[in-house]
Chains A and B, each alone.
Chain A
């Protein structure tokens, strides 16, 4: 069953001059961990605000747990948990007071739903008397998640919970989401970190208000399978310059320690390309064929979107 259904939603700002979302359509199944992946300005936050009834769409419709986001807003507000991108708890209340406050607003108690937040809250408990404003980034994020969970929501909306967070804390956060998923909560989460795609059941790649692709990560990678070259050499700056100057090159971008290169005729020009680079006299030149990763695919889809526009 679809817990979240979005039908052809569009949203503009500034009297229609800024298109935030354009014909967005997708479904999230009950119990699914669904990722919206895209950079700042893609429209992720607008989509969250629509689904949590804080905005009304210009066109299209959507339901959350069967309730319409425009007509049934009070029903939706009772059953969703929302963690906005900006820290939105009360800075001058303590950890414990914030949690009690959110429980009371939803007519429940912390004790009643403690089972849901226990794994996360135990890490916060030593600081329960500390003011929320005095917590570190990682702790704020955990408290915000607890507050979004304390009324046992059916659907959890998390807007960029891992932005600006170091790799260790990011990993821990996704481990927490796995545990929540096991408890049957449907989760919609957004992130600008493409590597987090592998932690989601399905993902939507979103850019400039449009969904570029939507599926499981392996299916997306398979669909856009296009052989490319990973090359490296000592003088990276010059290498990138020379590869870009080569007439058969479509794109050349740095990826970790390697540089990913797409050629016009995929692999056909391999021999000539290798000869070209050898001639340039690079030290430690290495060359291999690889399959694209999620960022390669995102870049490809972004370039396609630009040519269609």
Chain B
């Protein structure tokens, strides 16, 4: 039986008379890789902020890891991981310091954190870099550390906001290897991306247009429904119809 880890029903967010998120309804299941796509300004970021417990919705329902977005946002924050390309790690802390800082914030007990830090550094092959400043490392490494840090406290769900922007094609794929591995361990992955080939790597994909979910399915059925060859064409078909000015 599929276990639901994110549930939304008619979830809506208004800013004044502007409806940023317009009655979206969907479920995400345990261990799933869920692609959350949409044009710039379609409402993705607002929806994601609600699901991370950072913003209260105007109406509708949403539960994340079993917690209510209105009343239990602090519990949500403890049970999720979050990584974005814009903000991930502190450049002027070392690799080890970063891992311990974020692990500490997520409330991992000190002794356990020490073990986990060493274990992670070893697994990432960064033993020689452990005491180097993160700022001196290549972007691809930073992103791997950042992702590993986001799931160090073994959250039920990890939110990834454009995690692979600008990275080289090999690192981008190594990053997806890490996503697969996490999902295989039962962590649900909720990911946004502008690379349409990455949409194909997801178990299911939703595409937002003008605040609403215009399509939600697995990539192969979605392509079949639209009669097109790849996800880029699906995206172009849907987002071209967007009315909302940027």
Contacts and interface: CB of A to CB of B under 8 A. Distances in A.
Interface string B158-173: 0000100111111101
A99 interface: no
Contact of B40 (A136, A171, A255): A136
B103 interface: no
Contacts of A160: 166
Contacts of A298: 168-169
Contacts of A257: 200, 219-220, 230
A255 B197 contact: yes
B228 interface: no
Contacts of A139: 246
B90 interface: no
B230 A166 contact: no
Nearest to B140: A39
Interface in A210-265: 236-237, 240, 253-257
A41 B138 contact: yes
B239 interface: yes
Interface in A131-190: 135-139, 160, 163-171
A138 B246 CA distance: 7
A290 to B, nearest CB: 14
A137 B239 contact: no
B94 to A, nearest CB: 18
A166 B170 contact: no
B70 interface: no
Contact of B201 (A39, A163, A195, A254): A254
A40 B177 CA distance: 20
Contacts of A194: 169
B194 A164 contact: yes
Given A41-B139, A236-B180, A166 B168 contact: no
Interface in B203-246: 219-220, 230-232, 235-236, 239-240, 242, 245-246
Contacts of B240: 168
Nearest to A40: B166
Nearest to B233: A167
A298 B169 CA distance: 8
A55 B133 CA distance: 27
B165 A163 contact: yes
B40 A166 contact: yes
B196 interface: yes
Interface residues of A, number: 39
B130 interface: no
Contact of B168 (A171, A195, A207, A240): A207
A299 interface: yes
A254 B219 CA distance: 15
Contacts of B235: 166-168
A146 to B, nearest CB: 15
Interface in B25-74: 38-41
A84 interface: no
Given A164-B162, A237-B184, A256-B197, A302 B231 contact: no
B137 to A, nearest CB: 10
A125 interface: no
Interface string A5-24: 00000000000000000000
A207 B170 CA distance: 12
Contact of B39 (A166, A253, A255): A166
Nearest to A294: B169
Interface string B169-183: 111010011001101
Contacts of B196: 167, 256
A58 interface: no
B104 to A, nearest CB: 29
Interface string A192-204: 1111000000000
Contacts of A295: 169
A256 B139 CA distance: 23
Interface of B: 38-41, 138-139, 162, 165-171, 173, 176-177, 180-181, 183-184, 194-197, 200-201, 219-220, 230-232, 235-236, 239-240, 242, 245-246
10 contacts: A39-B168, A136-B40, A166-B239, A168-B239, A194-B169, A236-B201, A254-B176, A256-B200, A295-B169, A303-B170
Given A167-B236, A255-B197, 17 more contacts: A40-B139, A40-B166, A135-B246, A136-B246, A138-B41, A160-B166, A165-B40, A166-B39, A167-B232, A167-B235, A167-B239, A171-B236, A237-B183, A237-B184, A256-B200, A256-B230, A298-B168
